[in-house]
Amino acid sequence: MKIRTSSLTGDALTLILMASGMVQGAAPVENAQILRQVNPIYPQTAKKARIEGTVRFNAIIDQDGFVKNIQPVSGHPMLVSAAIAAVKQWAYRPTMLEGKAVALPTQIQVNFALK
């Protein structure tokens, strides 16, 4: 499920967050709601080399709403560190299931595009 898409001017950096919508072995849960989304800084070396692309991660939104266990799935090595540094600062309203905060498996995609 698409949670949030935001576009930046300048480097035309687009962030897309996709949540799985399911907690393993449990009933469907409501979409995670982002409270704080820090945009990554486009690495200067990647800009100079004209590198663009998408960095994909598997992660967990923990019971407190923080992104944990960030595991890169794909993406250019020059972009991965910048994407991870930003995503680590994101925060969500905790996902509730039957009145209790639960961890939510998530897929995160960060797109880097030069203008």
- Chunked into runs of 10 residues, the chain (115 residues) has average pLDDT values of 30 32 47 86 96 96 94 97 96 87 90 90
3-state secondary structure of 10: coil
**Cα distance between residue 26 and residue 11, in whole Å:** 40
Judge contact between 52 and 108, C-beta under 8 A. Answer: no
Query: For position 29, what pLDDT does the model report?
Result: 52
What Å distances lie between residue 92 and 28, 32, 63, 114, CA to CA? 17, 6, 10, 28
Q: What is the pLDDT of residue 30?
A: 61
Secondary structure of residue 99 in the 3-state scheme:
coil
Q: Which domains does the chain have, with CATH numbers?
A: 2-112 (3.30.2420.10)
User: Position of tokens 């070396």?
Assistant: 45
Q: Which amino acid is at 21?
A: G
pTM: 0.71
pLDDT at 36: 93
